[in-house]
Structure formats: structure tokens, C-alpha cells
Amino acid sequence: MRASECDIVIVGVGGQGVILISDVIGRAAVKAGKSVRGAETHGMAQRGGSVINHTRIGCRFSPMVAAGGADVLLALEPAEALRFAHFLSSEGVALVNASPVLPVTVTTGIAAYPSLEDIHSALRDVCRMATFIDATALAKQAGTSQAMNVVMLGALSRYIPLPEDLLLDALAQVVPSKYLEANIRAFALGKAEVE
Amino acid sequence: MREYLLGNAAIARGLLEAGVGLVAGYPGTPSSEIVETLVDLKGDLPLHVEWSVNEKVALEVAAGGSWTGVRAAATMKHVGLNVAADPFMTLAYLGVGAGLVLISADDPYCHSSQNEQDSRRYAQFASIPCLDPADPQEAKDMAAFGFELSERFNIPVMLRPTTRVSHARADVQFGEPQPSCESPRFVKNPARRVALPVHARPLHYELVGKQSAIEQALQGTKWNRLMLRSEDGIIASGIAGLYAEEAVLDLDLDVSLLRIGTYPLPSRLIERMLQHVKRVLVVEELEPVVEEQVERLARKVNPAVEILGKGGLISREGELDLLQVRNAVARMSGLEEKQPLRIPAADKILPPRPPALCPGCSHRATYYAMRKVFGKKAIYPSDIGCYTMAVGMGTVDTCLCMGASITLASGIRFAGETEGICCSLGDSTFLHGGMTGLLNAAYNKARITVTILDNSTTAMTGHQPHPGTGVTATGEPTVKVSLEALASALGAGLVETVDPNDLERTIECFQRAKEFSGLSVVIARQPCVILARRSGTARRSFTVSDDCQGCRICVDYGCPAIEFEGDKARINALCTGCGVCAQICPSSAISEVAR
């Protein structure tokens, strides 16, 4: 028996807006009358490091998604998608922002950044589907590059058991009102990418 | 009301529901958002909420509030309780006025800590009750309940969330804030407020004497749940109870289960479980607190029972997760264990992404200048803060606990080390635990240099104000304590302040400090770049010209805004305009872009 209706792992780099995505999902789940759990990264790890957020819709257990149990891996950065790919279920879906953020180990020449093709093929090996989305460019198109995370949320909305109107209501609660229009456009552009 | 709340926000809600009137804390991951949430929610409520100078101060301020008839709480991370251990141990004897709840947030796996100590041991040590929540809802409910328990038994109560509770989110049901005590008054009662030996002796008898009554009162609370089914059993505490329940569901077993959330442990429930089962698995994070009690009770009620737990199936180090607990339950039940998925490509092609100092962080500039002056052989004791991440720069030789940079440096000198010794600690860390060390260094004539990395905030934990910032937790203006005056008053012979982004002057300043014949203090002052960005301070921008020789000196400086492309350096969009790289480039190839 499943312990959760839908398990999502959201990953990225500190500062990319991972927590906002979980916050919108959680608020929408509460509006939908569903129990919901989340676990987030705070403190030291945030400073330019990898961040991971677990979000479980329709779940009354721990906030942590089990390794091999994620229905969706939402990655705001390609290398981070692969770093946390062991959370994906073999039936799961990976949605990946195609725009890399180079770690210091790469900018200083200690390590190399893998090709997107290599990341894609490694992801394909462990799950049902891996889709790369040019979310950074789409966010600019929507009017603010800050909304990259909301583009990804729009794409994610296709795969989670929450109605779009509740997600948009929740979005309106967490983004400043002057950026709301751009964020709604970003959401729609992301959603259209996976139609 | 029902909202998707962070565990720490839920705890703040619980405190307000119980009519808390005074909350004092020191920032520390994973506890900081409790005070921050209270600041946000305070509004017109008659609530004193403060960032204290350190955890000992916070607990004592909270105790003062409690003794004046106001429900009070102190918040801290687990290692903060070490700092507060002195008042903590004796408060258990003296008791409370209105309810007193101590929140000590544990951090299994050291997500953002220097150790993994288990606060339940402290509660045991002090003989005070401990509430161990499994999720944000329990944390909220326990925070409120803690005051009732504290008042009923005249004893401080510990709430012990872990990272996965404090930094979890969940749908949480909560109520309206209640008014705090309207007629606060300190009632004199030397026998219960003055810990003279003559008072303390009987109070110790009283403390020990009330333990079983506390256990009785806690046993029947909703946080202890016993379900007797098959002759295999699981006893799990706190968040481990959720892992255990999910594992049982996943494996489709009908094992007996006892979930525990309160200490002193519910012996009667444990005995009933032990009388029912042939085998029992104890699942708890960190120390075998429950397991030791289970072993003791088994000797009494069922010596034949097989007890599984630490030293095999459940690790004593790090944090538990569903996989480990599931596999432990599977092993007990003779079912197949699940192997974690390995992705060979990930290990092979992924670049590491360690946390690092921000682009333009002034700590990097300070450490660069320090190293230039003191050299490779000098000893660099450091401390707890963002700057500990600069361990790769060669200027972080030690990190022990808050403020220990100065005292370790002193001890290293007194032991006879003859190399240069230059220690460093942040402004908030200096005010928390460094001042007494500086006083000691001056008094005992330590010839060392102390560097205060003053970014004018408590950056690592989320930019909380402190006495050097001139602002209180609630944003009110207050006295702005001068680090220079403080360092002089504590006995430093040379005190100089410098802007670390001005490399030449910083190097000269360290030179004078190094040559000084006594105790010298360098205050390297430059606001945290994250705060500067938030406050909208105008940034400069820099670029690399064709004069770049590809020497990599700027790249090795380690700023994430500097990349190496082909055979030349390049400045990327992360640049905050500190201009330090332009000062270290030997070819003068980096310059400010004119606007």
C-alpha cells in the first residue's frame, strides 16, 4: 500500500527558489483538503551548495521521500538532477531546467561539468521519462528571469494531483503582487512545455 | 486554522496558543525560525521576544520571566544547550513560576552543526521531562502542552525537535494566540529561588521524588500509542515512529508497535509490549535512550525477549531514514532488504558542489590579506560561522565551539608555539562567546592576533541582528555596542579597524598587528554581501581585459564570480563588485566597468 499519493523531490542550487515551489504545492494541497509533508534545506548547505526539498502530497508519514520512491524529480539545475536521481522511482518522471549553474569546483578548473546529453542518458536509465526544459529562457520571456522556478512549477503541475486554480491561488499568496502577472505567464509557459 | 507550516513556525504558533509572554533565543540551525516567526506574528501582543547574546543568557532571561509569573520559553540549537547547561541543571531543582519551556533543536547528521549530541540525554541528566515530536503538528501541540506540564510539576520542560521536524513542513491545525499573564510579579521565595546548599539539598529530593508522577501524567498522552498485534514488536520514538509506521505499511506486516513521544519514558506501556512480544526492535535516532530503558524493563518483565536496535540494525550515528528503518524491520521479520539505487554515471561525471563563501564575501578578502602577512607556517584558530567554509584557504586550522578561536589560540601560545598565531571569529560569535576569551587572553598576556570578521550580522543562521547592529530582534533601534571600545576595555593593546575590500590597507593593518608585542585585535568590517544586496546597495561591475596572462591568481582566490575559460579569466554575472580581484591581478587586467 502506498504511503503517499504523490512523492516529489525538488532539487537545485541555494538561491534558485526551491523552497517556493514546495510552499506553493503545500498551500494548494491544504486548500484541496489533502494532508501534505515537506522537508527542506536550511543553514550552511544553502551557501552555493546543492539543496534538496522533499514534498509529499496526500501523506501522513515522515516528510522524507524514500530513495527510489519519487514520482517526480523536479530539478532547477541539470547536474543536481543527476546528483539526486537515486530518489527517482523507475516509473518516475524527471523534469529538468537545462541551464547549468557552474559550481566553484568547475569555475576554478578542479572538475569538469558533464554534457547535458550525458546527464540526460543517465537519467533515462533510471526512470520512465526525462524532459529538459529551457526554463531560464522561458522565465525571461515571461518577464522576469527570477521566475525560472515558477516555469518549472508550471511543468510540474501536469504530474501532480492538484488542480491548477489552487496552485495559482497559492502562487498569488507567495509572490509579490507586482510580479504576479509575470509569474502566471511563467507558469503557463512551463506547463505548455510538457503538453 | 489549517496552514502549510514549517515545524519551527508551528512551534511558534504553539507558544502563542499557550499565551507565552517572553521568548529569548540565540540563532542556531535548526532552531532560528521560532523566534523569527514570533517576531512576524507579535503584532500588538504583550510579548517580549529577543535575540539574546547567547543561550545561557536566553535561558536565564526566560527563567526570570517564568519566576515573574509569565509563561516563558528559550530557544536554541542542541550545542547551544551546552552553553546554557549551567542554569539548565539548577533550574530543574529550583523550578518555575509560570510555565518554562526550553526548546533545544537537535541536528542528527550535522546538517549545519559541529556535532550530533542528543538533547534527550540532557533532559535525563537534569531529570526534567522531554517532549520529542515526530512532526510539525506534534511540535505545535507539545509546545503548548509543555507549559501546563511545567506548571503542574513545577519544573522546566524540554521540547526537542530535530532538523526533520523543525525544517519539515506539514498541514498544521492551530488556534488563536492567547493573552499572556496580565499581572506579572516576582514573588520572593528564597527556599525556591536561592540555590544555597541548604535549599538545594531538599530540592534534589523533591526533584527525584516527582519523576514517577511526571511519568504517570505523560504516559496516557496522545503521543504514546501502543498497538499490540503479532509477537514481533517495534518501539520507536519521535520521527522514527513515522519511519517505522511507513515501513510496516510498505512491508505489509502486522507487527506490534509502540510509538513514544515523552520522557521520562512510559514504562507501563513498554512493559505491556515486552510481555506481549518475543522480539522487539527499538528504533530511535542517535543515543540508545529508549533501548537502555527497554533492556532494564525486560530484565524485570520478560528476560527472554530478544531486543534489537543499536549495534546492528539501527545506527547510532547520523540520521535515520525510511530505507534504514524499513530494512531493519525487514531483517527482523525475515524479509528481503532493499538495496539503495546506485547510479555509476553520477559518481563518475558529477562535479562536487560544496557550500562556499558567497561571491564578493569580505571574509575571503580578510583571509587573503591575513595569509599574505602571517604566512603558511602561522597557526590560524577559527570559529563557528560562514567563515568556517574558508577552510580551503589555509586560514581555518581549528573550529571547536562558539568563541573557542581566541582561547585555543591562547593555549597554543602558552604551550610554547613560537609561530605567528592569528585567530578569527565573526562579530556575533565574538559577542556570544568570544569576549571572555579575549579578556582572558589580555589578562594572561597571550601574544596573539584576534581578527573579528565583522559583517554586521549573524549571517550563517539567516541574518539575525545582535548588540553590534543597533537593532533588536523586533527591529527597534537600540544601543549599538562598539566592538573597538569593547576590545580595548577587555584589555587588547592594539585595536584597529579596516575595510577588507581595501587590500593594501588590510595587509598593512595585519602587518602592524603581527609586529605588535602584545594582544592585538583587527576588526575587518564590511557588511555581508547578502544583506548589501537586499538593502539595494549599488554594485560596481568588473571585467577582465585582454591583458590577462592566464596566471590564475584571481581564479585561485576562489570567488565563484571568477571563471577560467580557455586560457583567460572571466568575470560572470555573480560578481558583487567588491573589487578585490582587481587588486590582486599582477597584470592589472581587471578593471571596473564605467557606467
Give the residue ranges of DSSP H helices in B154-210: 163-166, 190-193, 197-209
- Can you tell me the distance from the alpha carbon of B193 to that of B68, in angstroms, rounded to the nearest whole number? 11
Neighbours of B203 (CB within 10 A): 17
Give the residue ranges of DSSP H helices in B68-118: 78-83, 85-94
CB contact under 8 A, A39 and B169: yes
Residue A114 C-beta-side C-alpha neighbours within 13 Å? 24
- Can you tell me the distance from the alpha carbon of A34 to that of B358, in angstroms, rounded to the nearest whole number? 39
Identify the pLDDT of residue A44.
66
Note the ipTM here.
Answer: 0.95
Each residue's pLDDT tens digit, B557-594: 999 899 988 889 999 888 999 999 999 999 999 999 98
How much is the average pLDDT of B173-193? 95
- Can you tell me the distance from the alpha carbon of B424 to that of B510, in angstroms, rounded to the nearest whole number? 12
**E strand spans, B238-372:** 256-260, 262-263, 279-283, 306-308
Closest CA to B546 of B486, B590, B492, B481: B590
Judged by phi (left if over 0) then psi (alpha if -120 to 50, else beta), residue A121 lies in alpha
Handedness of CA B171, B172, B176, B179 (dihedral sign): negative
Give the residue ranges of DSSP H helices in chain A: 18-31, 78-83, 104-107, 116-126, 135-142, 148-156, 164-174, 180-193
- Can you tell me the distance from the alpha carbon of B477 to that of B460, in angstroms, rounded to the nearest whole number? 23
Inform me whether the pLDDT recorded for A42 exceeds 90: no
Identify the pLDDT of residue B354.
86
Each residue's pLDDT tens digit, B56-69: 999 999 999 999 99
Q: Do B73 and B102 touch, CB atoms closer than 8 A?
A: yes
Q: How far does B270 lie from chain A, in Å, by closest CA? A: 23
Q: Name chain A contacts of B168, Cβ cutoff 8 Å.
A: 37-40, 63
- Can you tell me the distance from the alpha carbon of A107 to that of B356, in angstroms, rounded to the nearest whole number? 13
Identify the pLDDT of residue B565.
84
Identify the pLDDT of residue B383.
98
Identify the pLDDT of residue B339.
87
Q: Name chain A contacts of B77, Cβ cutoff 8 Å.
A: none
Burial B485-498 (b: 16+ CB within 10 A, else e): ebbeebbbebbbbb
Interchain contact B342–A (C-beta under 8 A): yes
Inform me whether the pLDDT recorded for A139 exceeds 90: yes
How would CATH label the architecture of A6-134+163-175? 3-Layer(aba) Sandwich (3.40)
State the pTM of this model.
0.97
Neighbours of B36 (CB within 10 A): 22
pLDDT band at residue A46 under the 50/70/90 scheme: low
How much is the average pLDDT of A26-55? 90
Neighbours of B155 (CB within 10 A): 25
For an interface test with A, which of B169, B249, B568 has the most A Cβ atoms less than 10 Å from its Cβ?
B169
Inform me whether the pLDDT recorded for A45 exceeds 70: no
For an interface test with A, which of B8, B107, B237, B353 has the most A Cβ atoms less than 10 Å from its Cβ?
B353
Each residue's pLDDT tens digit, B442-499: 999 999 999 999 999 999 999 999 999 999 999 999 999 999 999 999 999 999 999 9
Identify the pLDDT of residue B534.
86
Is the peptide bond prior to B30 cis by the omega test (within 30 degrees of 0)? yes
- Can you tell me the distance from the alpha carbon of A35 to that of A28, in angstroms, rounded to the nearest whole number? 11
Instruction: Enumerate residues 6+ apart whose C-beta is below 8 A from B259.
Output: B134, B223, B224, B225, B236, B237, B241, B244, B245
Q: Read out DSSP for B212-266?
A: HHHHHHHHTSTT-EEE--SSEEEEEETTHHHHHHHHHHHHT---EEEEE-EES--
Interface of B with A in 59-118 (CB under 8 A): 111-112
Handedness of CA A60, A64, A70, A74 (dihedral sign): positive
- Can you tell me the distance from the alpha carbon of A38 to that of A55, in angstroms, rounded to the nearest whole number? 4
Inform me whether the pLDDT recorded for B595 exceeds 80: no
- Can you tell me the distance from the alpha carbon of B80 to that of B27, in angstroms, rounded to the nearest whole number? 9
Interchain contact B581–A (C-beta under 8 A): no
Interchain contact B566–A (C-beta under 8 A): no
3-state helix, strand, coil in chain B (%, to 5): 40, 20, 40
N-to-C CA span, chain B: 52
Closest CA to B232 of B283, B278, B186: B278
Handedness of CA B572, B575, B580, B583 (dihedral sign): positive
Q: How far does B134 lie from chain A, in Å, by closest CA? A: 8
Q: Name chain B contacts of A39, Cβ cutoff 8 Å.
A: 164, 167-169
Inform me whether the pLDDT recorded for B356 exceeds 90: no
Out of B6, B245, B351, the one facing A112 most closely (by C-beta) is: B351
Q: Do A87 and A65 touch, CB atoms closer than 8 A?
A: yes
The residue type found at B453 is L
How much is the average pLDDT of B23-42? 97
Q: Which residue of A has its CA nearest to B340?
A: A67
CB contact under 8 A, B164 and A63: yes
CB contact under 8 A, B353 and A62: no
Inform me whether the pLDDT recorded for B145 exceeds 90: yes
Size of interface A-B (CB pairs under 8 A): 187
Interface of B with A in 358-397 (CB under 8 A): 358, 386, 389
Inform me whether the pLDDT recorded for B182 exceeds 90: no
Q: How far does A42 lie from chain B, in Å, by closest CA? A: 7
Inform me whether the pLDDT recorded for A72 exceeds 80: yes
Out of B29, B352, B562, the one facing A43 most closely (by C-beta) is: B29
Phi then psi for residue A72, to 5 deg, are -135, 135
Each residue's pLDDT tens digit, B493-534: 999 999 999 999 999 999 999 999 999 999 999 999 998 888
Closest CA to A84 of A163, A9, A191: A9
Q: Which residue of A has its CA nearest to B27?
A: A43
Out of A36, A83, A113, the one facing B4 most closely (by C-beta) is: A36
Residue B553 C-beta-side C-alpha neighbours within 13 Å? 16
Question: Percent of chain B, pLDDT > 70?
Answer: 100
CB contact under 8 A, B460 and A43: yes
Inform me whether the pLDDT recorded for A121 exceeds 70: yes
